Amino acid sequence: MIIAMACTKNWYHYLMVDIFSLLECTKNIKKIYLLLETNKIKDVPYLQKIIDEYGVEIKLINFNREIDKLIDKGNVNRDTIYSNFCFARLALPSLIKEDKVLYIDTDAIVRKDISKVWRVDISDYYVAGVKDYGVLTDNTYERLSITGKYINSGFVIFNLKKIRKENIQESWFEVIRQKELKYPDQDALNLVCQHNELYLPSMYNYSHSVTKQVLNRSLVKVYHYAGEKIQWVVDRFFAEEWYDAEENFYDKFGY
């Protein structure tokens, strides 16, 4: 499996717990790309310990150097309540050379083996992800005139080969340049790809704001703490899952 994640430096701790939870549950991770505010492993606490423990190849990309190339500083979709690093997932086709990648948000943890999802055939699709039921309540479909599918961008398999071949990345950023968006990266992704998306089971992106508790929790593989962060995740009904992962992380790597 090829994984990608992205965040600013104030999220590095959550990123480490996220990566730890992934590697503890899923053994066939070939490579992880991290789009951060640095390209030096020493700048990210615990990262070298994780590499040494699991033997996984981790590549760092300084995304700070890429943002201005993609979106003008005055763009209405920049510097919003969402970090500009939300656009990192949309830049993956030009930043890495893989044919396919699984992007996972930093505000998530993996609790069960997710290797099965990597075997899903997406050769005819640009992306695969979990349907975002949350947007049904805020008129997103009407706001964007969406007539196809709409996925949450927190857990997405990107068919990079097809995306590059059909120049979809440029289409995403053209939407961002031309239209004010409520959920900048997610809206752009879905506007362009709505008729070439594959839905995945909610167990791969379980979130109160996405799935509305429609799933038996015993099946959940990935918990996604999407939405406003109040004292991190204590307001979430599955907060204990994240804190258990954090405790296990510290038990293995120390404070």
User: What is the pLDDT, as a whole number, of residue 176?
Assistant: 94
User: What is the pLDDT, as a whole number, of residue 235?
Assistant: 67
Q: Which residue, among 181, 147, 184, has the nearest Cα to 67 in the 3D structure?
A: 184
- Inter-residue long-range contacts of 76-80, CB under 8 Å, 24+ positions, other chains counted: 76/180, 77/176, 77/180, 77/181, 77/184, 80/184
For residue 56, report the phi and psi dihedrals to the nearest 5 degrees.
-85, 145
User: What is the pLDDT, as a whole number, of residue 193?
Assistant: 98
Q: Which domains can be identified in the chain, with CATH numbers?
A: 2-253 (3.90.550.10)
- The whole-angstrom separation of Cα 185 and Cα 213 is 24
Is there a contact between 179 and 146 (Cβ–Cβ < 8 Å)?
no
User: What is the pLDDT, as a whole number, of residue 213?
Assistant: 58
User: What is the pLDDT, as a whole number, of residue 72?
Assistant: 83
* List of residues 6+ apart from 45 with CB closer than 8 A: 12, 13, 16
User: What is the pLDDT, as a whole number, of residue 23?
Assistant: 98
Is there a contact between 211 and 133 (Cβ–Cβ < 8 Å)?
yes
Q: Give the global pTM.
A: 0.95
Q: What is the pLDDT of residues 11-41, one digit of tens each?
A: 999 999 999 999 999 999 999 999 999 999 9
Tokens for 182, please give them: 């409520």
Mark the ranges of the chain whose per-residue pLDDT is less than 50: none
CA dihedral (67, 68, 70, 71) positive or negative: positive
